[in-house]
Amino acid sequence: MTQTLAIFLDAYRDLNSRKLFWLAIGVSMLVVLIVGALGIDETGVSVFTFHFDSKFVNTLFFPRDLFYKMIFQNLGINIWLTWLAAILALISTASVVPELIANGSIDMMLSKPITRHRLFLTRWVTGLFFAGIQAAVFVTASFLVIGFRGGAWEPGLFLAIPVVIIFFSYLYCFCALMGVLTRSTVASLILTLVFWLVLFGVQKAEQFLNNGRIGSQMEVVAIEEAIEKRLEKNADADVDKLRMELTAERRSAERWSSGYWPAYALVTALPKTNETTEWLARTLVRAANFRRPANEDEGMRFFASARVKRKDFEQTVYDDAEERKGATWAIGSSVIFEAVMLGGCVWLFRRRDF
Amino acid sequence: MQFARLFERVQEFAKSGVHKLRMVGLSTIHGVTLVIDLQDVTKTYRGGVQALRGVSLRVQSGEIFGLLGPNGAGKSTLVKIIMTVVRPTTLTGTVLGRPACTQEVLSQVGYLPEHHRFPQYLTGRQVIDFFGALAKVQRTERKARTEELLEMVGMRDWGNRRVTTYSKGMQQRIGIAAALINDPRLVVLDEPTDGVDPVGRREIRDMLLRIRAEGRTVLVNSHLLSEVEMLADRVAIINQGRTLAQGTIEELTHDSHRYEIDAINGPASIQTAVGEVTGMPSAAEPGLRTYVIPTRDPAVVQPAIDALRAAGITLTRVERARETLEDLFVRSVVDERGRAMPGAARGPGTPTAPPIVAPPRTPSTSTSSTSTPSTSTPSTEARP
């Protein structure tokens, strides 16, 4: 315990000495303060003492609490915590492993009665400190703003802290592995950002294929219903054209499916950054009475048609995600990937001569 | 009655102190306690570089032991193996009576690596405290000991400054203090005076002597021969991954004892008790010849002096001499053609001379500089 506390205290001192740490905390607070400075009433919105009339952004359309929750969701989670703050955290902590194994530093550490795997894992966990402190500061401040300004006290909001740490840990385990392999802070940071980009691309591709698969299946069902309806009205009705459409759509649905499942398998094997934050957004609907996140993916409209309404399509995609992409899939399988990465790190760290 | 006798015997045993050594399991040889007892240490790095090819090392309790060798000889690798930083390919032996290269030994060992890097955001006091905590020293003990050590290394007034503001010498002092925070029985220092000015070097030397006086064993890895010669009780010379020589400086240079006689216009050779000795003409002073008589016995030299004096030859110098550590070192690591032998290499490497290993001295008999190798001790005049 003495050793673990010492390593954590050292990590805190390290963070404390970095300007970037305080800059990130400062920006987090500033973002929340700006949100807190926003006000909403029946006639519009206000910033500090300036009032702007609005026919759409007012409490008649948005209850006061929902206004702040939406800002937290769209700005806080989707942009700040899962992108900007995560990048700042990566920049700040990418050096933890390369500095640990740097010549002169590692000799001092390994000559102490602490096992290599414990040393490495404890140091790695301290790297999550940054993301943890940053998320805790931001979420706590947001909780207070939503409470005082929105009048809704939602302790479920604090679920965001562990989820953001887990989200960051997906990237940070890869960063640690690159740190062990390259011994370079810059290389491990760049490779991690590239890895993140690849993950983003793979997940987006999977989502696109999933949308296509679901859209196509809905189209098949809609055509089948249309044929049934027509035949119900008139048994001798000409449905050949519809049947031809159905055959073509079924073929299309098969193609979407055959493309989708390999992508799904790949995404399942990899850490799911997007899916984890989306899971958090869905969970906050239940845990903190958030409004169901609006799907702002304009690509959705391509999968809607005259037979499949966009709203129905979005609902089906949402339900599908709720059913298949729960915490076990989004977080559980990502943590397995993380465990494999960390296992690799520890294996290399234990075997290496320094 | 029997129980009472048994109790008495246990008490006698406890008083004798013999059990202490047995309890800690330290190796002994010829009655000498060994803190480090390693045999056949080999290390082959990936790519086939053989850094160590069967090094043996015996460091006795309470001594300062100097590890010498040219660059690439394998000294640092050996030190890192002892400190578990590098894993050996093969190794047998013990450190502090326990299997070498295991975690359990490390709590009793202090280490200052060469080119150490302290966390830049820490002060000197925090560095000592941090490494103390890693060595599992409890907080209250750490706090008290940190103050003691800062005082000992002369850094009390600088303890609250960041290590980035320190000179090299100050960093070394803090490093030595950090190495001592866990009250170690064995202190391993890799080039402790490297990059330190002469005044700082002297202070570090004094610190090491104080550490030895506290009963700790010190293993110093250094390429500064004069430093080691002043400090070390015993040395080992390593080259090409092998131990070439090991023992006290006196033991290792025992065969090099000689008398040198300078004479003006002396004969080409003179007859001595150890045979005919040819005089070498001096390049600096015409007419001067130097006769080197390989002996440590002054009685052997007297007939030669008498003969020269009887012949009316003027003697300008009669001096007892022996190899310095530098002479010994150079003799050990330079090949027949006078070239330095390379350090670590691929493959089996060039064959080297059989190692010069002196048996460990027995503390109770270490009194005379003219004693036999097995009982000799380094000359006291070699110490500062």
Contact A103 B117 (CB under 8 A): yes
pLDDT on residue A293: 62
The DSSP annotation for A138-184 comes to HHHHHHHHHHHTT----GGGGGHHHHHHHHHHHHHHHHHHHHHHH--
Interface of A with B in 5-24 (CB under 8 A): 5-7, 9-10, 13-14, 16-17
pLDDT on residue B370: 30
Nearest CB to B136 within list A3, A17, A353 = A3
In a domain, A97, yes or no: yes
Residue B371 has pLDDT above 50, yes or no: no
Q: What number of residues does chain B have? A: 384
CA B120 distance to own-chain centroid: 32
Q: Give me the sign of the Cα torsion angle B82, B84, B87, B89.
A: positive
Q: Is A224 helix (H, G, I), strand (E, B) or coil?
A: helix
Distance CA B43, CA B91 (A): 9
Q: What number of residues does chain A have? A: 354
Which distant-in-sequence residues (6+ apart) come within 8 Å of B116 by Cβ?
A104, A105, A107, A108, B171, B175
Best mutation target, B117, B139, B221, to test chain A (most A CBs within 10 A): B117
Nearest CB to A110 within list B85, B137, B138 = B85
The percent of residues in chain B predicted with pLDDT above 90, rounded, is 49
The answer, for A1 touching chain B at a CB cutoff of 8 Å, is no
Nearest CB to A2 within list B104, B114, B136 = B136
Which residues of A are less than 8 Å from B103 in CB distance?
113-115
Give the structural domain span for A57: 2-184+328-351
Nearest to B212 by CA among B62, B378, B59, B26: B62
Contact B263, B279 (CB under 8 A): yes
Count the Cβ atoms, other than its own, within 10 Å of residue B112.
24
Q: Give me the sign of the Cα torsion angle B243, B246, B249, B252.
A: negative
Tell me the nearest-neighbour CA distance from B78 into chain A, angstroms: 12
Which distant-in-sequence residues (6+ apart) come within 8 Å of A340 by Cβ?
none
Residue B353 has pLDDT above 50, yes or no: no
Nearest to B249 by CA among B98, B93, B64, B54: B64
Mean pLDDT across B203-210: 92
In a domain, A336, yes or no: yes
> Is residue B74 left, alpha or beta, with left meaning phi > 0 and alpha meaning psi from -120 to 50?
left
The percent of residues in chain B predicted with pLDDT above 70, rounded, is 79
In a domain, A104, yes or no: yes
Domain B2-252+327-375 belongs in CATH node 3.30.1370.60: no
Least confident range of A73-77, B118-122, B214-218: A73-77
In a domain, A332, yes or no: yes
What the block records as the tokens of B161 is 């400054």
Mean pLDDT across B25-39: 79
pLDDT on residue B300: 87
For tokens 């001569």, name the residue.
Answer: A353
Tell me the nearest-neighbour CA distance from A121 into chain B, angstroms: 15
Instruction: Please report the ipTM that was assigned to this predicted complex.
Output: 0.82
For tokens 């037979």, name the residue.
Answer: A307
Q: Which tens digits make up the pLDDT trace of B42-99?
A: 999 988 999 999 999 999 999 999 999 888 889 999 999 999 999 999 999 999 999 9
Q: Which tens digits make up the pLDDT trace of A274-317?
A: 889 888 888 888 887 777 665 555 566 677 777 888 888 888 98
- Domain boundary assignment for chain B: 2-252+327-375, 258-321
Residue B365 has pLDDT above 70, yes or no: no
What residues of chain A score a pLDDT lower than 50? none
Residue of chain A nearest B43, judged by CA positions: A353
Longest CA–CA span in chain A (Å) reads: 89
pLDDT on residue B362: 44
The total of structural domains in chain A comes to: 1
In a domain, A93, yes or no: yes
Strands of B280-281's sheet in order across? B280-281, B288-293, B258-264, B314-321
Q: Which tens digits make up the pLDDT trace of B298-325?
A: 888 898 898 899 889 999 999 998 888 8
Residue B39 has pLDDT above 70, yes or no: yes
CA geometry: angle A335, A341, A347, nearest 5 deg = 130
Write the CA distances from A209 to A143, A144, A215, B270, integer angstroms.
Answer: 37, 40, 10, 103
Contact B115 A106 (CB under 8 A): no
The burial class, CB within 10 Å (0-12 / 13-18 / 19+), for A232 is: exposed
Best mutation target, B85, B95, B127, B141, to test chain A (most A CBs within 10 A): B85
Task: Tell me the angle at which helices A116-148 and A19-37 cross, rounded to the nearest 10 degrees.
Answer: 20
Distance CA B334, CA B339 (A): 5
pLDDT on residue B341: 61
Distance CA B198, CA B215 (A): 26
pLDDT on residue B289: 92
pLDDT on residue B329: 85
Which residues of A are less than 8 Å from B130 in CB distance?
6, 9-10
